[in-house]
Amino acid sequence: MKLSEAIKLGSMTGPMLKGRLWDEEGGTGSCALGAAMKAVGQERNYYLNGLLKQFGWWWIEETRVSCPVCHTTTPLVDGITYSNTVRNMIPHINNYHNVTREWIADWVATIEPVEMEQQVATTTANNQREEVSVNG
């Protein structure tokens, strides 16, 4: 699943939060990255770095961008300035701009690697072939 799709899917599970991945008091809210994690079944006990690679989202640590809202290249997250990777820009947009998680997902879709779709399709096809040969 592409990151943009995961953000949109996870956004359907509850309200948007700012400053936290999800509601630690048992609620259903989440930020944009928290929504993506929820969409792939990861919540509460998580290791974000491992998930980025596992789900093919590694590119958000390597891709540098400016904020599509305020055009900064030094995103502010929880009062700290970070490098301008997509991973840092998503929380910046989520926490400091008046946009929805769906809007963030649409922006992410514009910068996701094109080969991501092919890689996901190939992985899915390989997994289906594996199931057929094992169960076949």
Helices and strands in the chain, H and E counts: 7, 2
Could you tell me the residue ranges of all domains in the chain?
Answer: 3-130
pTM confidence score:
0.80
Q: Is 133 or 119 the better-scoring residue by pLDDT?
A: 119
Buried b (16+ CB within 10 A) or exposed e, 122-133: eeeeeeeeeeee
Q: Is 43 or 78 the better-scoring residue by pLDDT?
A: 78
> pLDDT tens digits for 93-117?
999 999 999 999 999 999 999 865 5
pLDDT of residue 115: 67
Q: Is the pLDDT of residue 119 over 60?
A: no
What is the pairing mode between strands 76-77 and 80-81? Answer: antiparallel
